[in-house]
Amino acid sequence: MKAENESLLSRATSLGSLGAAARQQGEEVAAAAHFREAFGLALDAANQATDGGSHRARLDTLRAAARFALDCGEVTDARRLMNEAFSIEASTKFADEWAQLRDVTAWPDTWLVAAVRRDPPDVQALDALANRYWKTLFGRCQLLTLNHQKAGDLAQEAWCRVLRVRHALKPGGNFPAYLTTIATNLWRDWYRSAQRAGDMADHRLESLDAAHPNEDGESVALIDRIPDLKALSPEDQTLLAMDIDKALEQLTPQRREVLVARFINGESCAEIGQRYGRTEQSISGWVRQALKEVKLHLEAAGRGAAVKA
């Protein structure tokens, strides 16, 4: 019985490895099939352990089965298996090897996205994913719109769009990059609509309101050019933040977006170039020109000494 149980778990582990490899390559259909088969084998092993195995063997198989369930988005089954394990041995709930399974906020993006893909999406997984990336998303939207209220609207719309297309999400993909791409594309649509509307547009780009300075003192997209705002007096912090906003407002939408991608998202010039169909050297030139324009604006405002040469 023990040998058969170990054989089932070994086969399940091999299938899990195949599923992980397929997911990494973007082959989600194959990955889901492998994980589901692995889940079934692990369940069989857990049932056999129940028939005559030790508590430890049963707990190990239940944990393996719960992990495979989360890999394929079967959150309800995973929680049922965890509760079964905790009923067998209460102390298991606090064991380190069960910590990641028990705490939704500790789940990797792959498990969270797999859970959100389900019908209906798992609420706890969705909340954990939103909490993990909301600040980053809002920061990008704020730099794109240069307006606190519009940034919130844009971020909310980006999340709604993701939910509408959640079945197409790939658990093995780069979710934060996908999320910010959705927001950027929405912002482009807004901007184009505003341009077509002309004087009737209500999406005119505005400077950030002085009442919403960056609370942690970071220098937004110009972190490599602007010193730590915490080193300045409160009055100078406010003045410099306002000048930065005005400087960003002077940039073309394209150059501002490139700065956001380069300094906020941490994308390389080569990665940005692939998206725009330009060479790495071209993007590097855009970045240099955008920073030069911002620097000139700050110098004209009488605070050029705050900018690194």
> For the chain, how many structural domains are there in total?
3
Q: Any idea what the CATH number is for the domain that residue 68 is in?
A: 1.25.40
Asked whether residue 298 carries a pLDDT value surpassing 90, the answer given is no
Asked whether residue 76 carries a pLDDT value surpassing 90, the answer given is yes
Is the separation of the CB atoms in 138 and 155 below 8 Å? yes
The pLDDT, as a whole number, for residue 234 is 61
8 inside domain: yes
169 inside domain: yes
With pLDDT > 70 as the criterion, what percentage of the chain qualifies?
76
Asked whether residue 197 carries a pLDDT value surpassing 70, the answer given is no
pLDDT grade, residue 7 (50/70/90)? confident
Q: Any idea what the CATH number is for the domain that residue 240 is in?
A: 1.10.10.10
Q: Of 73, 102, 131, which one is at a domain's C-terminal end? A: 102
Residues 126 and 73 in one domain: no
Q: Any idea what the CATH number is for the domain that residue 151 is in?
A: 1.10.1740
Residues 78 and 13 in one domain: yes
Count CB neighbours of 205 within 10 A.
18
The pLDDT, as a whole number, for residue 238 is 57
The pLDDT, as a whole number, for residue 64 is 92
Residues 185 and 234 in one domain: no
Residues 136 and 176 in one domain: yes
62 inside domain: yes
Phi-psi region of 146 (alpha: psi -120 to 50; beta: other; left: phi over 0): left
Residues 261 and 165 in one domain: no
Encoded tokens for 274: 């692939």
| pLDDT tens profile 203-253 | 333 332 333 333 444 444 433 333 444 454 566 555 555 666 677 778 888
| pLDDT tens profile 110-155 | 999 999 998 899 999 999 999 999 988 998 888 888 778 888 999 9
The pLDDT, as a whole number, for residue 153 is 93
| Residue with more model confidence, 168 or 294 | 168
Asked whether residue 307 carries a pLDDT value surpassing 90, the answer given is no
Q: What is the mean pLDDT of the chain?
A: 79
Q: What does pTM read for this prediction? A: 0.68
d(CA 73, CA 75): 6
The pLDDT, as a whole number, for residue 254 is 86
Residues 276 and 197 in one domain: no
Residues 281 and 237 in one domain: yes
Q: What is the extent of the structural domain holding 41?
A: 2-102
d(CA 257, CA 292): 15
Q: Of 42, 67, 102, which one is at a domain's C-terminal end? A: 102
Is the separation of the CB atoms in 171 and 129 below 8 Å? no
Nearest to 19 by CA among 62, 61, 71: 71
Residues 217 and 126 in one domain: no
Residues 50 and 79 in one domain: yes
226 inside domain: yes
85 inside domain: yes
117 inside domain: no
Q: Of 102, 131, 156, which one is at a domain's C-terminal end? A: 102
Residues 231 and 303 in one domain: yes
Residues 223 and 268 in one domain: yes
Residues 267 and 245 in one domain: yes
Asked whether residue 261 carries a pLDDT value surpassing 50, the answer given is yes
Please compute the mean of the pLDDT values over residues 66-94 and round it to a whole number: 92
